[in-house]
A and B are shown apart, each in its own frame.
Chain A
Amino acid sequence: MTDYPLYQCIDKEGHWVGEDERSTQEDLFTFYRHMLRIRTFDKKAVTLQRQGRLGTYALFEGQEAAQVGSALALDGQDWLFPTYRDHGATLTFGADMARTFLYWNGRFEGCTPPEGKNIFPPAVPIATQIVHAVGVAMTEKRLGSGKASIAYFGDGATSEGDFHEGLNFGSVFKTPTVFFCQNNGFAISVPMEKQMNSKTIAQKAVAYGIPGVRVDGNDCIAVFRTVQKALERARAGEGPTLVEAVTWRYGAHTTADDPTKYRDQAQSIEFRKTNDPLTRLEKYMKETGVWDEEWFAQLQTDLSNEINQAVEEMEAFPKPDVNNLFDHVFAEPVWPIAEQKSHYMDHLKGVIS
């Protein structure tokens, strides 16, 4: 039985336990800033949803270290394949915040990445984006571009066929891909022990002859280093890596469900107290004397301003254009859609045809 120890750089108490050299002060500030940024975003999104200013929203609070650490390890030109819960990662990688809010308001505009960024629209089906990341990496490998791809998914996705097909393809064709699993213990209501009999997700890599690594998903530095290493390996032509980031989400699957129905919330309360990714880094920064209260206060103000501004931008965004219902199905309009559009536009104008 292969052993999959949990790789850590800082433990729950905030002590450095990593064997490698320590992160620079600048890096620590960067990690913390991004984690607080996406947490503030997440909390704001939940508030907006409760106020009826946003549609159903998928929360990720608790998973900040996994999303930030992995996204910061990417090169700006790499490809990111998120699920609907990885907007923390996409925001860190450079997605536009107002547009990310727009996505949750039911707007296609929210699926479009900024110019020059390879961020794919979030995958709503489970595990289907894993094979896309492999396909893209096949192209980049063929072109010798040095670009890699990362696919985000949860623990439940590893039960789907496309997870296995993707790992197998990636392994057979040695694609520059990182398969990044955020194992938060539950696939909506089903706990991991009812999802699979394997003790870890990392061990599934054995079947595909690729490395499988397990990292503390609440340790941003450890996640960053793990993904960085996987990307180095990918770019060196050695093929993909399966990364299992073990983490915990405090809240519900989405704002539409009630986690108390299927999960003991005491666990979440305990996790927040003892294993929070932000608190952990804060403890370490305090221990090493780099924490700066003034910096922190300023950061909170700056983030709050940034997010409020993004909300304003989202709410001031022009109303959805009905043309967008019809115009992007095919490159050139086909007659059934063109006619349905024209009849509907007439109908809206009150023309009877």
Chain B
Amino acid sequence: MINLEKQSKTKQMTLVQAVNDALRVALESDANVLLLGEDIGRNGGVFRATDGLQEAFGEDRVIDTPLSESGIVGTGVGLAISGSKPIVEMQFMGFIYPAFEQIMTHVTRIRMRSMGTYSVPIVIRAPYGAGIRAPEIHSDSVEAFFTHMPGIKVVCPSSPADAKGLLLASLADPDPVLFMESLRLYRGEREEVPVEGYEIEIGKGKKVLEGNDVTLLAWGAMVPIIKKAASTVAKEGISCDVIDLRTLFPLDRDMIAESVQKTGKAVIVHEAHSTGGLGNDLVTLINDTSFLYMKAPVERVTGFDVPPPLGSLEDHFLPTESRVIAAIKRVIQF
């Protein structure tokens, strides 16, 4: 694995460009890597995540498929068990439902069912989340369905450099990975991204800011929100330990426990619905590891238990900086 810190040549990239760059590295380095998805070839993907790749690697490696989510994931299963390395794109996470059966009944279980004879090293890329005024169904954030089912890892980067390294690590992983890409972050920020290929270990979170009063936990599109909230409350003298989880299954328990044992307080932020959301597992994890250290009940700031609304209401649906700040203050004043 190439050390990220030692990479000298870098280039400014957005998150979606970093995804594109990772896919290019993957296609260049292994002839078994194939991309499959709707409109990913000639069109370069509806978000340009695969832009230019078909031109560079041909129609047999960057494959425009029929409109057929179950077919894409199901043939991906067949490809993966026979030695190809498929990276499939769900055009939006909200379009993953027709493929849900394939993921639940096969992708997650083939290794166990065959006692390791067959495995499904597939990467399912799924652009997710609200905040870009997309039409109905395009804004879902349903990671909890997948973290609930053992047999698949769930990864969600929040920065361009993480996106590239985590995507390449997902491809190298011998098990299936659901790779969530925030629509809102696709072009949210630019940063220096190493030009060469590198991997960031799956299962490890990232400490974004160091602080002592309260731990803030989020992933994907909510990471910039908690960073902003942390810098706002810093002006009032509240110092936040800010963690980007990066992998949602398996969670980085050590990093979370170490942080909450230091601060004794935690706020979890996710845009997915509250009931059955991953935030609940995080609360359990904190109970299991750090109950006696806690000085306040853990707060959650989440999307409401309503279907992701049409664009005109999504700013109310999504956790905002002010809701996060309110939660921070509640735990601080408890």
Contacts and interface: CB of A to CB of B under 8 A. Distances in A.
B174 A331 contact: yes
Given A108-B112, A131-B77, A140 B82 contact: yes
Given A168-B66, A329-B111, A162 B74 contact: yes
B71 A166 contact: yes
Contacts of B70: 128, 131, 161-162, 165
B98 interface: yes
B151 interface: yes
B111 A328 contact: yes
Interface string A315-353: 000000000100011111011110000000000000000
B71 A331 contact: no
A111 B115 contact: yes
Nearest to B31: A142
B50 interface: no
B78 interface: yes
A134 B81 CA distance: 12
Interface in B60-105: 60, 63, 65-66, 68, 70-71, 73-84, 86, 98, 101-102, 105
A52 interface: no
Contacts of B106: 123, 125, 128, 132
A65 interface: no
A134 B78 contact: yes
A128 B82 contact: no
Contacts of A334: 153, 203, 249-250
Contact of A336 (B60, B102, B250): B250
A138 B75 contact: yes
B329 interface: no
A337 B105 CA distance: 19
A146 interface: no
A331 B80 CA distance: 14
Nearest to A151: B78
B253 interface: yes
B175 interface: yes
Contact of B118 (A120, A130, A139): A120
B113 interface: yes
A135 B74 contact: yes
B115 A131 contact: no
Q: Which of A108, A165, A166 has the most CB of B within 10 A?
A: A165
Nearest to A79: B82
A132 B75 contact: yes
A40 interface: no
A132 B74 contact: yes
A329 B82 contact: no
B101 A132 contact: no
Nearest to B285: A336
Nearest to A333: B250
Contact of A131 (B78, B82, B86, B203): B78
B110 interface: yes
A149 B81 CA distance: 13
A331 B110 CA distance: 11
B119 interface: yes
B3 interface: no
Q: Interface SS of chain B: helix, strand, loop or mixed?
A: mixed
Given A168-B66, A169-B66, A329-B151, A112 B78 contact: no
Given A113-B117, A165-B70, A328-B115, A121 B110 contact: yes
A169 B82 contact: no
Interface residues of A, number: 44
A140 B32 CA distance: 11
Interface string B18-39: 0000000000000000100000
Interface string B211-232: 0000000000000000000000
Contacts of A143: 83
B290 to A, nearest CB: 16
Given A133-B78, A329-B150, A330-B175, A142 B114 contact: no
B115 A112 contact: yes
A188 interface: no
A135 B77 contact: yes
A112 B114 contact: yes
Contacts of A113: 117
B151 A132 contact: no
A109 B110 CA distance: 13
B102 A128 contact: yes
Contact of A112 (B105, B117, B173): B117
A134 B71 CA distance: 9
Nearest to A171: B66
Contacts of A165: 66, 68, 70-71, 74
A256 interface: no
A307 interface: no
Interface in B225-276: 249-250, 253
Nearest to B254: A335
Interface string A100-117: 000000001101110000
B105 A139 contact: no
A109 B115 contact: yes
B135 interface: no
A81 to B, nearest CB: 8
Q: Which 3 A-B pairs have the closest CB atoms?
A: A135-B78, A131-B74, A165-B71
20 contacts: A112-B115, A125-B105, A128-B101, A128-B105, A132-B74, A138-B75, A138-B78, A139-B83, A142-B34, A169-B75, A329-B111, A329-B112, A329-B150, A329-B151, A330-B150, A330-B174, A331-B116, A331-B119, A331-B174, A332-B174
Given A121-B114, A135-B74, A136-B82, 6 more contacts: A108-B114, A128-B105, A130-B74, A138-B75, A162-B102, A335-B253
Interface of B: 34, 60, 63, 65-66, 68, 70-71, 73-84, 86, 98, 101-102, 105-106, 110-119, 150-151, 153, 173-175, 203, 249-250, 253
